[in-house]
Structure 1
Amino acid sequence: MFYTVECSYTDAESEAEWNAFYSQQKLPALISVTGFTTSQRFRALNAGCPAYLAIHTVNDADVLSSEEYRLKGGGNFSRWQSCITDWHRNLYAGEGLAPALSANDILLLSAKPIGFLESELGYRGLEMQAVALDKTPAYRMAYFLPAAIASPFTDMPGVYLYESLTPQLQSSEKGTPHHHA
């Protein structure tokens, strides 16, 4: 399952500090929660969607209602809350782990499959169906692409491009967080 959190941030003066908190404290805290397998943050490259996106692979919906999640992962945003806008959380059914996006790649989120990417270029999309929380958008396809391949999709309606803000964090089998490049 994929747990996504999206938002924009309205205060340019504190945005770098907020990003540092989220990337250096919040993500490591989340990946330490039992049931979180991967976590990565992204920044939107085009308009029309929230500026920031985090994608987490979780074992099941129960992880998000656990006491451990409440203690380690939920909240902790009070200092920045007034600047966080366009905030959405979704839980998507999906197979496997969220792929790690490298610094040279682009995450393309689309409201529908893009046949050309799959049939002509051989990129398999990650299908995500909303099952809990906001449930909007209800359906998404995620493609992890080299930047040169993603650039022609910049102005396509219903398509949003993201760059990686952090390397993907992965939990180990023993539950100890560590980084994977």
Structure 2
Amino acid sequence: MWYTVECSYNDSESEAEWNAFYNHQKLPALISVTGFTTSQRFRAVTSGCPVYLAIHTVKDANTLSSDDYFLKGGGNFARWQSCITDWHRNLYEAEELAPDISSDEILLLSSKPIDFLDTEMGYRGLEMLAVGLDKTPDYRVAYVLPSEIASRFTDVPGVDLYEPLTSQLQSALKEKPYPAEHIFARN
């Protein structure tokens, strides 16, 4: 199951400090929560979507209501809450771990499948169906693409592109049912 958190931030004076907190304190705290397997954070390279995206692999919906989650910082943005806008949280059904996006790759999220990426270029997307929390958007298809290929999609309606802000953090208890490379790699 993927837990996604999307938002924008409206105070340029405190944004660097907020990003440092999120990247260096919040993500490590979350990955230590029982039920969290992976965590990675992204910044949009296209406009018209929330600027920031975090994707976590979690065991199930109960992980987000556990005492461990609340004790280790789940929802802990009080200091910056007034600057956070366009905030959405979703749970997407997924059997695979969220992909580990490297610095030379882009995460493409589309409102519908992009057939030629699969049929002509050999990139297979993963359909994401929202099953909990905001359910907005309720459906997406995720692709991991090299940056040079992803740049072709910057002006395509219904497509959001995200570059990694952090490396993916992984828990020590990671269980990997399928390698992410199996789902997202070229055929």
TM-score range, shorter chain: over 0.9
Cα 1:174/1:56, change in 2 over 3 Å: closer
Could you tell me how far apart the structure 2 residues matched to 1:174 and 1:148 are? 31
Q: How many residues align?
A: 175
* Contact 1:3–1:56 under 8 Å retained in 2: yes
Q: Residues 138-181 of structure 1: CA distance to partner in whole angstroms, max 9, x if unpaired?
A: 10111011011111111110000010000000001289xxxxxx
TM-score (norm 1): 0.94
Matched, 1:12 2:12: yes
Helix, strand or coil at the partner of 1:118: helix
Aligned Cα root-mean-square deviation (Å): 1.2
Residue identity over aligned pairs, in percent, reads 75
* Structure 1 residue identity aligned to 2:103: A
Query: 1:129 is matched with which residue?
Result: 129
Matched, 1:30 2:4: no
Query: 1:75 is matched with which residue?
Result: 75
Query: For structure 1, which runs of at least 5 residues remain unmatched after alignment?
Result: 176-181
Query: 2:56 is matched with which residue?
Result: 56
**1:73 CA drift (Å):** 3.0
Query: For structure 2, which runs of at least 5 residues remain unmatched after alignment?
Result: 176-187
* Contact 1:42–1:163 under 8 Å retained in 2: yes
Helix, strand or coil at the partner of 1:103: coil
Matched, 1:92 2:75: no
Could you tell me how far apart the structure 1 residues matched to 2:85 and 2:46 are? 17
Query: 2:173 is matched with which residue?
Result: 173
Structure 1 runs, 4 residues or longer, greater than 2 Å off: none
**1:103 CA drift (Å):** 0.4
Query: 1:108 is matched with which residue?
Result: 108
Query: 2:180 is matched with which residue?
Result: none
Could you tell me how far apart the structure 2 residues matched to 1:137 and 1:90 are? 8
